[in-house]
Amino acid sequence: MSTTPPALPASPEPAVATTLRPGTSARVSVPATTANLGPGFDSLGMALEFRDDLSATVLDHGLEVVVEGEGDGVPLDESHLVVRTMTRTWSLLDAEAPGLRLECRNRIPHARGMGSSSAAIVAGVWLARELVPDGPARLDDAAAFALAADIEGHPDNVAPAWFGGFTISGHDAEGWYAVGSPVDPRIGAVVLVPPTPLSTEAARGLLPASVPHAAAAADAGNAALVVAALAGRPDQLLRATRDHLHQEYRRPAMPDSLALIDRLRADGVPAVVSGAGPTVLALVAAPGSGADAGLPAADVVLGSCPPGWQAEALAVSPVGVRAAD
């Protein structure tokens, strides 16, 4: 997968609004994601097989939002992130719904660095596009990804949530881009999720405006090595995932997470902050790969889970957003 989408049109044709038919529905499944993987700040991301499932039905009037699972306290009105995203997508497609029922079955923890907001945005774009009769033809995957990245403001979680697998993404003069790269099937993941949330805004607020040239150079080399290590040299992941740009600056906001990473890395585990944190991501041997991967077993990391935290052993998901069963 590789895409460099064109700039999004201000108002796709046709100019006449489409009113969606009540009773039309769509269901979607979207994965959790982890970003950065240590040195790949705002550029590297990977989909994990841990999913939110959502459904949307056009009503003849009104708005109903139902949330199950994660997300206590999220708004249940038009300010809900999925609803806002669907409205923006319909505006782009010059469509409107007389009413909407949105049901969210959330498993991805909120404000933990596992891409919950990207999952909501990607799900909203996908659902809105599917509910328009010619939506997929008028808003292809490249343009849909670009819209989702526009809404999120950065593509590192949005890209794997949409396309699946491991992605390198960014923004240049031509717009948002995402390029897929292979993941060795011997590689799996463990996420260690603390009970206390941390907003992305708070985590980003701790970062300095500039860093030493040597730190930037070290991270550039390690980010390149991450790509090679994930593709077929998992034995290099401990070296590759060393970060010099962002994790240490965020220690005051998540001291327990960074202390756990220190302990895991001292034991030879490639452990990093997942996204903006405070979840810890550890790269481990996938089930059945044994010592051949040069990585610790998932059970070793699961056994390091601090009291009160949640731990999950997860596969890398090769599939991003998709129709739910």
Binding-site members for ATP are 109-119
From CA 139, how far away is CA 155, in angstroms rounded? 18
Amino acid at 72: D
User: What phi and psi values does residue 35 have, to the nearest 5 degrees?
Assistant: -120, 160
Helix, strand, coil share (%) of the chain residues, nearest 5? 35, 25, 40
Closest by CA position to 104, among listed 91, 92, 117, 114: 117
d(CA 312, CA 310): 7
- Tokens standing for 315? 């596969």
* Residues in binding site: 109-119
Cα 172 vs. chain centroid, distance in angstroms? 20
Residues 6 or more apart whose CB falls under 8 angstroms from that of 41 comprise 219, 243, 245, 246
Whether residue 39 contacts residue 241, with contact meaning beta carbons closer than 8 Å, is answered with yes
